[in-house]
Chains A and B, each alone.
Chain A
Amino acid sequence: MTTLLPRLPRRTGAGLLSSARPLRMLEALATPHGIDRYLELVSPLLTVRELRAAVVDVRRSTADSVTLTLRPTRQWRGFQAGQFVSVTVDIDGVRRTRCFSPASSQHRADGLVELTVKAHADGLVSRYLFEHARPGLVVGLSQAGGEFRLPAQRPRRVLLISGGSGITPVLSMLRTLCDEAERGEYDGEVTLLHYARSASDVPYTAELDELAGRDNVRIVRVYTSDDSGELTGRLDESHLAAVAPWFAEGETFVCGPASLHDAVRELYETRGIAERLHVEEFRPSLPGIADPGTATGTVTFARSDVRAANSGATLLEQAEAAGLRPEHGCRMGICFSCTQVRTSGCTRDVRSGETNSDPDTEIQLCVSVPVGDVELAL
C-alpha cells in the first residue's frame, strides 16, 4: 500500500518485458540508478517499471470535492470494483501518499480511472488535489488493492450502503454491475442507499438519477440535515426494510464514516447475518494524539510480530528491550542507520520535541519516542 518502500523490479506481467533481454542490457548500462531514473527526466510518464498516471480531466462537482480522471501508464493491471489505489503527490517538496477508491466501472472501455476526492480540512493530499489538480498533472499510482470488492460470482441481490465520500467504491460496484447488466452478464437487483448532509453534498447527482431509471436498480438518497430525501434520519432497520426488504438474503457492502459502519454492523450482528456484510475499512482512524511525556499505549513491531507497552524510552531502546536487534549506529540521530517506517501513530523527536503522526513516515528510532500507540514496519 505504501509507495515509500522500494518496489522490487518486476520481471513479470504488463507484457512490456516481452523483450526482457534488451531491457536487462539497458539496466546493466543504467546501473546503479536504473532506466526509470533517466527516462523520468525526459517525461515522468516514460517509466519502464514504475506505475504513474496523468490527470486528463478535472471536475469540481460539489463545493468541497473534486473528480479526477486518470490515465494510468501501461503497467496498470486494472482494478475490481470496490478496491482502492494509492495516489502519490509532492507537496512542498515532500512525497505524500493517500488511498482513494476509484468510482468508475471496472469495465470502463477507455481504461481511464475516475477518483472523487473530498477535501478534508486537515487532509493534506485531498486538499492539495482539490486546489491544484489540473489536466497534465502526473501522480504516482499503486496497483489496486483491498478485499472490499464484489465476489467473482455476482450475488443475485446487492445492497450498497454509503455515507459521504464513501460513495466512491460502492458507485464503482453499481456502475460495474450496470455495465454487466447491459452486456447481459448480470440480471440481479441492486439498491444503493446513500447518506449525505444535503443534496448539494452529493457528487454524481445527474448520473445517479440516470442509473436510477434502469431496470432492477434502486437509488435512495437520505439527507441528515433536511427532509428532502426519500427517507429521513439516520440508518436503522426501517430504512433497510423500506429500500431492500430482502437485505437478509442479499449481500451488503458498506463504506462511510465509522458511525455508519457501527450502526450497520450492530444491526446485522443482532440479526445473525454478519457474514452477509462487507465493510470497507481502509479509512485510517486517526488516533487521538496523547500528551507528550506521559508514556501510554502500545508499540507494535509489525514485521517481527512483537507488541510491548510503551515505556517512554526511545523506540530503539524499546525495540531492543523487546528482544529485537534493529540495525543502528550512532544512537544520536546522525547516521540514519536505524531509520524505519512508522506505519501509524505519533512519535516525538527527542531533539526538537516535535511530534508527527503522518502515516507511513520514516523515522530514526534512536531519537523518536512514541506518543500513545505506534506501529512500526520493523
Chain B
Amino acid sequence: MTITLTEEQVDELGRELDAIRQRIVDDLGAADRDYIYKVIKAQRALEVGGRASLFLGFLPPFWLGGVAALSLSKILDNMEIGHNVMHGQYDWMRDPAVNSKMFEWDNVCPADQWRHSHNYMHHTFTNVLGKDRDIGYGVLRMEDAQKWNPYYLGNPIYAFLLMMLFEWGVMAHDLEVENIIAGRRTWAETRELRRGQHRKAGRQVLKDYVLFPALTGPLLLSTLTANATANVIRNIWAFSIIFCGHFPTGVATFTEEETENESRGQWYLRQMLGSANITGGPLFHIMSGNLSHQIEHHLFPDLPARRYPEIAPEVRAICEKYGLPYNTGRLSKQLGSVYKKIAKLALPFHRDGGVDEAAVRIVRTEAAAA
C-alpha cells in the first residue's frame, strides 16, 4: 500500500495536530493534577497494602493478595505514573513530586538513563533503523531490514528472556552492548552508567529482596518469592504493552535518509505510521499507562496521558482524512502479531516484501503547484 501526499498536505496535517496540542495545553489545570494525585494515591495504597498483607503470607489468600497488590502498584508506578511523569507530562505543575527531572521509579533502571534512551533516542528517532535502539532492544530481530545471521535463530528465546527480565533489560539497554561488541563503543565509556545502575539497582534489590523479606521474619522466603513474582508480573505486562506499541504488523519503519531534514508535519507523519494502539476499557488504558494510545502518545509525548483517549477520535479522523492507516486492535490481536513476527524473523528467508505484510510507504511529491 502506498499513500501519496503532497508537501502542502503534510504541512496542513502538522498544523491540524499542532492545533489539537495547543488546545489541550491551554486546558491543563486542576483536573489533571487531581487525576495524577489520585493515581499516585492508589499506587501508594496498593503498595502499602500489598507489603502489609505479606506479613500474613503464610495464609495463601494473603500471599496472593499481596502479590496482586504489589504487582498492580509496580505497574502503575512504572507506567501511568513513572513513564508519563518522566516524559515531562506534568512538568507544567512545577511540583517536584511529579517533575520529569526529579522523579525516580520503582524499577532498577535509573530514571536519568531511561530518559535519555527513551525520551530522546526513541521518541526523536522513532522506528528509524540504526537510530531507534528500541527496535529489538539490540538483541532481537524485529524488522526485515535487520540483516539475518544464525544468532537470530534464538529470537523467540531471547524475546522470552527479555520479557521475564524486562526491567533489567531496560537498564542494560543504555550500555549499548551491541555497539561495544561492534567496536563502536568501549566498555570504559560505560563506567558512569554502570555506577548509576549499580546504585539504583542496589537500592531496589535491598528493598525487595533483603529488607522487606527480613522484616517478615520467619516468612522471609515467602515474602522474597512474592516480591520477585510481583517484579516479574510487572515485567511481563510492561514488555507486552510496549512491544504492541511499535512492532505489530503494518507498523512502518524508516531509513535515516528518509528522515533527514524532516518538517514538523513529516515528523508527525512518521510518529503516526510508526505506532499502534490497543483497544480496551478505561481501566485497561490506565494500567497500560495509556500506552494503549501509543499513536497519540508519540504525537504528543508531553501531554498528560489521561488526555489521549479524549483526542484519539480527532487523531483518527485526521488519519482518515488523509487516507493514512490508524493501527489499532485488541491486545490479543496486537500481541499475536508481535509473537508471529518474532518467530518468523528468527528465520532467514523473510526479507523485504516477504510473507510479512507490506508496510506503508509514503512518497513525498514536490508541491504540485510549484
Contacts and interface: CB of A to CB of B under 8 A. Distances in A.
Interface string B205-219: 011000110000000
Interface residues of A, number: 32
A90 B33 contact: yes
Interface string A3-26: 111100000000000000000010
A75 B245 CA distance: 46
A128 interface: no
B94 A329 contact: no
Contact of B211 (A28, A32, A38, A94): A28
A41 interface: yes
Interface string B76-114: 000000000001100111111101111011100000000
A93 B93 contact: yes
B167 to A, nearest CB: 13
A351 interface: yes
Nearest to A4: B94
B87 to A, nearest CB: 7
Interface stretch (B117-125, B141-149, B315-323, B347-355): B117-125
A92 interface: yes
B124 A31 contact: no
A8 to B, nearest CB: 11
Nearest to B18: A351
A336 B100 contact: yes
A41 B96 contact: no
B156 to A, nearest CB: 32
A93 B32 contact: yes
Contact of A37 (B44, B115, B203, B211): B44
Q: Which of A5, A28, A31, A332 has the most CB of B within 10 A?
A: A31
B213 to A, nearest CB: 12
| Main secondary structure on B side of the interface with A | helix
Contact of A94 (B45, B93, B102, B119): B93
Interface stretch (B2-10, B21-29, B331-339): B21-29
A197 B200 CA distance: 59
A28 B104 contact: no
B33 A335 contact: no
The bracket for how many chain B residues form the interface is 35 or more
A6 B102 contact: yes
A1 to B, nearest CB: 14
B204 interface: yes
Given A29-B207, A41-B41, A90-B33, A330 B120 contact: yes
Contacts of B94: 4, 94-96, 361-362
Contacts of B91: 336, 339, 362
B204 A92 contact: no
B120 A93 contact: no
Contacts of B22: 352
Given A32-B104, A41-B41, A362-B94, A334 B302 contact: yes
Contacts of A132: none
A339 B93 contact: no
Nearest to B118: A335
Given A41-B41, A361-B94, A339 B100 contact: yes
18 contacts: A4-B96, A5-B96, A28-B206, A28-B207, A29-B207, A32-B106, A37-B40, A37-B97, A38-B48, A93-B30, A93-B31, A94-B92, A329-B124, A330-B120, A334-B119, A335-B115, A336-B87, A336-B88
Given A32-B106, A352-B22, 10 more contacts: A29-B207, A31-B203, A32-B203, A33-B44, A93-B28, A93-B32, A93-B93, A95-B94, A334-B123, A337-B116
Interface of B: 18, 22, 25, 28-34, 40-41, 44-45, 48, 87-88, 91-97, 99-102, 104-106, 115-116, 119-120, 123-124, 200, 203-204, 206-207, 211-212, 264, 267, 301-302
